[in-house]
Structure 1
Amino acid sequence: MTAAVEAASPAVPALGATAPDFELANQYGEPVRLSSFRGQNVALVFYPFAFSGICTGELCEIRDNLGMFENSNAVVLGVSVDSKYSLRAYAAQEGYNFDLLADFWPHGAVATAYGVFDAGSGMAKRATFIIDSQGKVRYTVVNPRGQARDFNEYRTALADLKQA
């Protein structure tokens, strides 16, 4: 990626900003629109690729602690550049009971809108946005390649939503 392209890429949405709206197909091909979750909190979890080691570990931790999100009136939406077909097989294999969204085409458009698309490798960066019931970004983390997110940060971010 050239410096000119990097400079033109959108920045990560600021805390308190309205989260960019989007519609993507889930693993079953059903359309999922972010704005349809107004009134609920959303954990928007970008991950590089289905079936990869760190991504699987992180999403399994979410799967195993889904009640923590539900207790905070939060829905989990996983997003990667994989196709809906890959995501369906991945969700079935791992027992994910939350939507995995295909940012497949235009390739990485939603990750780009959130400032987390790595055009050099063609994947989303490992990033999470906690979006409140009004559609505002309340928490953001973007981890370097190869570094898993700290699950305890989800607990803190979700607890902060309850206190707001």
Structure 2
Amino acid sequence: MALDIGALSPDFSLANQFGETVDSTSLSGGSVVVFFPFAFSRICTDELGELRDNLGLFDAAGVTLVAIAVDHKYTLRAFAETNDISFDLLADFWPHGSVTRAFDAFDETHGYAERISYVLDGRGSVRSVITSPHGQGRPIAEYSQALSSVEDAL
């Protein structure tokens, strides 16, 4: 399940991997919010590494990339340092998964984030949703297609 196209994204405020607060109001100009199950898992490491390697795609579209997991900020910091990730990794650790739930991206059975990405315009409206089945990463080509739709709205 995911938020509908055109829906307003929920407001949030979470700590990044450095303990700095990042809130939804600081993501003006459009954003891509990537939910991922766990730092250090094979698929998540590959997926976030691919996003890292393609940051120019997001910069060219004028959007901010953030990724959210239910991991602790210290886990996310170690993950970012190990994998040379420079974009914000946000910890939805406590209350466990509250922001992830608000975005309809929480797997209640397993207690972690589903693989759902939202492309948001400058008003916080959902312009595109990118998902993948359990055990598969989201292809970077889908981000490229989704970003072209939001560039027109910025």
Name the count of aligned residue pairs.
153
Report % sequence identity. 46
Instruction: Select the residue among 22, 25, 28 that pairs with 1:32.
Output: 22
Residues 16-27 of structure 1: matches in 2 within 5 Å?
Answer: 16-27=6-17
Q: Distance in 2 between matches of 1:109 and 1:33?
A: 14
Structure of higher CA gyration radius: 1
Q: CA deviation at 1:41?
A: 1.2
Question: Hey, which bits of structure 1, 4+ residues long, moved more than 2 A?
Answer: none
2:32 is equivalent to residue 43 of structure 1: yes
Q: CA deviation at 1:142?
A: 2.5
Instruction: Select the residue among 46, 52, 60 that pairs with 1:57.
Output: 46
SS at match of 1:106: coil
Q: Distance in 2 between matches of 1:55 and 1:85?
A: 17
Unaligned ranges ≥5, structure 1: 1-10
What is the CA deviation profile of residues 36-93 of structure 1, one whole-angstrom value per residue up to 9, with x for unaligned ones? 222x111100000000011111101110010110010111101000000000000001
TM-score, scaled to structure 2:
0.95
SS at match of 2:22: strand
Tell me if the contact between 2:32 and 2:65 (Cα under 8 Å) persists in the aligned partners.
Answer: yes
Unaligned ranges ≥5, structure 2: none
When the two chains are superposed, the root-mean-square deviation of aligned CA atoms in Å is: 1.0
Q: In the alignment, residue 154 of structure 1 is paired with which amino acid?
A: Y
Q: CA deviation at 1:14?
A: 1.2
